[in-house]
Chain A
Amino acid sequence: MTSRERVQKMFRGELKNSFAISIGGMANDNMSAYAYANLLKYLGMEEKPIKIYDLFQFIPLMDVEVIDRLGGDFVHAQRPRYRFNLDQKEWRPGTLHDGTPCYYPAEFQPIRTEDGSLYVEMDGERYARMPKGGLYFDIIRHPLEDAEEVEDLRLVHPAVRMSDEDIEYTANQIEDLYQNTDKAVVLLFAGQLIEQAQRDFGFEEFYCKLAIEKELMHAYFQMVTDAYLHNLEGILSRAGEKLDVIWFCDDIGTQQTLQISVPMYKEMIKPYEKQMWDYIHQNYPHIRILFHCCGAIFDVIPELIDAGVDLLNPVQISAKGMDPERLKETYGKDIIFWGGGTDTQNLANLTTVEEVEEHARHLLEIFSKGGNYVFSQIHNFQADVPPEKIVAIFDQAKKYREKLEAGEV
């Protein structure tokens, strides 16, 4: 059984004594470029290029051979202007902070200032900043910060609506992965409403407007949704038959609670997600909606299911109320959990490989019960996670799956 066959079987509800595995199959079960560089060395695969496609999370395109070595069943395609509206059809050589050779999108030409900070410019203005010694860029300019009227929304970020050329490029990537791998194919689509609005309006402005400028925010969300639907129609009409999963993401949770209340989610966000997810389910019923949402989201999961989510990631078990057994018992019949396999937030506290293996095995027992599960760690491994821990986690998952399939557990 190939990876793709396994995944499709699971989606049809026919995979009861097994589960799928994902590492580098989408943008939240990957790892920092630094951790990846160490992993390549550890696996003796130093010749593999480190292409940093997600400049915000600083994560690489994971090589199919590496995915295969770790047991991953998924690969992903993504739009060419994935971050900061920078085209990544072409790559240029560069280095990580520690001098490790890597590749960046050719258009990524950050400016270093006297204080050691790096800036990314967009439309001739500074848009994101990485402070000296930092590992991540943060957005510092919000084009809709002062928007008051619906008319002001015309300034909305251009990357939301894809060009025909970019749509074509994305569809070709899907085709390529479909033809040249036996993995299930994920499209990194994102389709963000909340996070796009946070970037466009700024965090505080966005949240306040959500409560007091509802008409403006409805107009904004509809505008963004229309652009996303345009992008989806373009990509899926060309390559929809070759796709298995579309990845969406938006953070509704915090470590302790929800960012917005359930009634506000239902009123302000859900209708727009539903438009996108209904479109996909109605026209491409074989495709599953994967939704990435960190944090303490237990109470909003029924609404997400109702809106059309089929797979939920990252299953942040360290957040309040996200007990693995309670999650599986309450929602396991209605949704496939993708994640929850290793608590990366507390990984540093597990000092030996044996402790890491035991931790993963315990979570595998809970989440793989009755099938319907995609094993992955909870969110991307950070820069300092050693490769032996990463390999141990995924070797444990493969071993557990073999036992499960053989009826030994």
Chain B
Amino acid sequence: MMKLLHEISEELELGHAVQVKKKVLAAIEEGTSPDQILKEGLLRGLDHIGKQFRESEVGIPEVLLAARAMNTGIRVLKPFYDKTKEPRGKICVGTVQGDIHDIGKNLVKLMMECQGFQIIDLGNDVAPERFVEASQEHHCTLICCSALLSTTMNELKAVIKAFEKAGLRQQVKIMIGGAPVTQQFCEKIGADCYTEDAMEASQYAVLYDEGEK
């Protein structure tokens, strides 16, 4: 069993989507739990490639191929997963108004889906009020906003203001991220959490879901 999980992790690192699919199915066949396949196979591979990327050993191409393989793995795994596990809560994600960059936002979405969250994807160029509406409509208490430009990062503050105006600020946690965003900026605008990358964002969401944040 461990051999197969190890192979899933390796194939994912290499971006071999077809092999990942085959091996995930084989692991299910062997009776490995979907949770174990996710954590010790798929996520371990993604974690490895993430570390290599941070060390400049690989670049965006290798990470994207691994992400595609991850997507394939998740799609294969999801039907089995749903049978065995209570899904986690809902999260609203979106890129702020005036900004149409969504690669980072989509990576965050994927990582959160891997953790079992249901994502309400508001897309890009999202007005502050839209975040508020969506959180009410879908009973979402975790809001995840991204801004890629130094000229649009102030829109993150506008999202917080919109929740304050609606009298809902205390009911939600607002996570922020994106290239120009920093911990210092997060504190300055009064957001609840800044995470540096998609993996960290999904880990924070899990802690929040489990009542630890």
Contact = CB atoms under 8 A, between A and B. Distances in A.
Contacts of A210: 61
Nearest to A265: B59
B65 A212 contact: yes
B61 A131 contact: no
Contact of B59 (A203, A204, A264): A264
Interface stretch (B4-12, B98-106, B200-208): B98-106
Contact of B64 (A132, A204, A261): A204
B98 A134 contact: yes
Interface in B34-71: 53-62, 64-65, 68
Interface string A230-262: 000000000000000000000000111111111
A138 B100 contact: yes
A132 B98 contact: yes
Contacts of A331: none
B150 interface: yes
B151 A383 contact: yes
A62 to B, nearest CB: 20
Nearest to A129: B100
Nearest to A347: B150
Chain A contact-residue range equals 20 to 34
A258 B56 contact: yes
Q: Is the interface of B mostly helix, strand, loop or mixed?
A: loop
A382 interface: yes
Given A264-B61, A299-B56, A345-B150, A131 B98 contact: yes
B95 to A, nearest CB: 10
Interface string B133-171: 000000000000000011110000000000000000000
Contacts of A279: none
Contacts of B64: 204, 207-208, 211
A133 interface: yes
Interface string A205-235: 0011011100000000000000000000000
A50 B125 CA distance: 28
Given A135-B98, A255-B179, A211 B65 contact: yes
B99 A131 contact: yes
Contacts of A256: 54
Contacts of A204: 64, 103
B59 A261 contact: yes
Contacts of A134: 98-100, 125, 152
Q: Is the interface of A mostly helix, strand, loop or mixed?
A: loop
B125 to A, nearest CB: 4
A42 interface: no
Contacts, number: 74
A135 B148 CA distance: 13
B99 A211 contact: no
Contact of B61 (A117, A133, A207, A384): A207
B94 interface: no
A345 B65 contact: no
A79 to B, nearest CB: 26
Contacts of B150: 345, 382
B57 to A, nearest CB: 6
B177 interface: no
Interface in A116-150: 117, 129, 131-136, 138
Given A133-B97, A135-B98, A136-B149, A211 B62 contact: yes
Contacts of B68: 208
A177 to B, nearest CB: 31
A262 B180 CA distance: 25
Contacts of A132: 97-98, 125
Given A117-B125, A211-B65, A256-B54, 18 more contacts: A131-B125, A134-B100, A134-B152, A135-B149, A138-B100, A138-B101, A207-B59, A207-B64, A208-B64, A208-B65, A211-B61, A211-B64, A255-B179, A260-B60, A261-B56, A261-B59, A296-B56, A383-B151
Interface of A: 117, 129, 131-136, 138, 203-204, 207-208, 210-212, 254-262, 264, 296, 299, 345, 382-384
Interface of B: 15, 53-62, 64-65, 68, 97-101, 103, 125, 149-152, 179-180
Closest 9 CB pairs of A and B: A260-B59, A211-B61, A131-B125, A134-B98, A207-B61, A133-B98, A261-B59, A210-B61, A258-B56
